[in-house]
Amino acid sequence: MSRLPVAAARPAPTTALPAVLQADQLPVHVAVIMDGNGRWARQRGLPRVMGHRQGVEALKRTLRLCSDWGIGALTAYAFSTENWSRPGEEVSFLMTLFEQVLARELEALQKEQVRIRFLGDLAPLPAKLQALITEATERSAVNSGIHFNVCTNYGSRQELVQAARALAAQVQRGELDPEAIDENALAAQLHTAGQPDPDLLIRTSGEQRLSNFLLWQLAYAELHVTDVLWPDFDATALTQALVDFQGRQRRFGGVQEEI
Ligand code: IPE
Ligand code: IPE
Ligand code: MG
């Protein structure tokens, strides 16, 4: 099977790109591990949760920049399956924050034609948040703008396990021949089914690990780690990540083109 990325539409930029960026060399899909909220707050003598509040502003900023610059999709890691192990007050604060932000931003997302989806196991989330997620997903499904995936109670291993289980159930029902299970069949059972894989993964706060994020989908992504803490992530930091991406030679296992 070809390992080349799925072709995806690259919208035209709606605002001037920074001069160092070339529109035809931007990633189609950017994924981001938004890390460092707690450290940002600690550096200022504030409670950790204030870093999460500021992190929301950084996410809104990043979504708008990606949309304006013609990036087709943004996937952000908001809450991992492992984040439940944090202190109860921090988890509650985050769930309430997600609810408040989603309720507050829904109209703006509609106006900007953002198509929002939530990837992960949504069943354990508070009922009110689940209802808002359903509303936002349904209302924005036909929007023509950037595809915005928010990974909430997302864990890549859990996602792969449920994909394996779904395929096994199809085999058991006699609907699927085990020999017919290929990369496409497995990818079709993931939360990201139908979407192109990310071309670029950005992780903030200097941590050099994946933390159970999109293990399958990032197989050939370019990685950019920045020391910037997520609440400080801005146009300059995004530009740096995109310049880094533009300079990479992507080979997908092949050989470098002769220059
Ligand atoms: C990322 O920031 C946000 C979430 C995981 C929800 P952290 O809260 O992990 O911040 P640090 O890593 O402790 O600084
Ligand atoms: C990854 O960050 C999860 C999110 C950004 C939502 P963490 O801060 O939870 O990851 P670790 O614990 O440093 O690996
Ligand atoms: Mg962290």
User: Closest ligand to 229 CA?
Assistant: 1
Residues whose Cβ atom is located within 5 A of ion ligand 3: 35
Give the domain CATH number at 32. 3.40.1180.10
Is 63 within the bounds of a domain?
A: yes
- Helix (H) or strand (E) segment spanning residue 58: helix 48-68
Give the residues surrounding ligand 2 with Cβ less than 6 Å away.
33-35, 77-80, 83, 207, 209, 211
Q: What is the pTM of this model?
A: 0.95
What residues pair up with 152 in beta bridges, in sequence order?
79
Ligand 1 in reach of 86 Cβ (< 6 A): no
Is 82 within the bounds of a domain?
A: yes
Is 259 within the bounds of a domain?
A: no
pLDDT in tens, the chain (259 residues): 344 444 456 788 888 899 999 999 999 999 999 999 999 999 999 999 999 999 999 999 999 999 999 999 999 999 999 999 999 999 999 999 999 999 999 999 999 999 999 999 999 999 999 999 999 999 999 999 999 999 999 999 999 999 999 999 999 999 999 999 999 999 999 999 999 999 999 999 999 999 999 999 999 999 999 999 999 999 999 999 999 999 999 999 999 876 6
Is 93 within the bounds of a domain?
A: yes
Is 123 within the bounds of a domain?
A: yes
Is 22 within the bounds of a domain?
A: no
Extract the tokens encoding 144. Answer: 């023509």
Structural contact between residues 161 and 183, judged by C-beta atoms closer than 8 angstroms: no
> Catalytic residue numbers?
35, 83
- Please give the DSSP secondary-structure letter assigned to residue 81: T
What's the domain count of the chain? 1
Is 55 within the bounds of a domain?
A: yes
Residue matched to tokens 């999460």: 52
The residues, ordered by sequence, that sit 6+ positions from 168 with a Cβ below 8 Å of its Cβ are none
Is 116 within the bounds of a domain?
A: yes
- From 186, 214, 233, 229, select the one nearest 29 (Cα to Cα): 214
**Domain carrying residue 61:** 27-155+205-244
Ligand 1 in reach of 231 Cβ (< 6 A): no
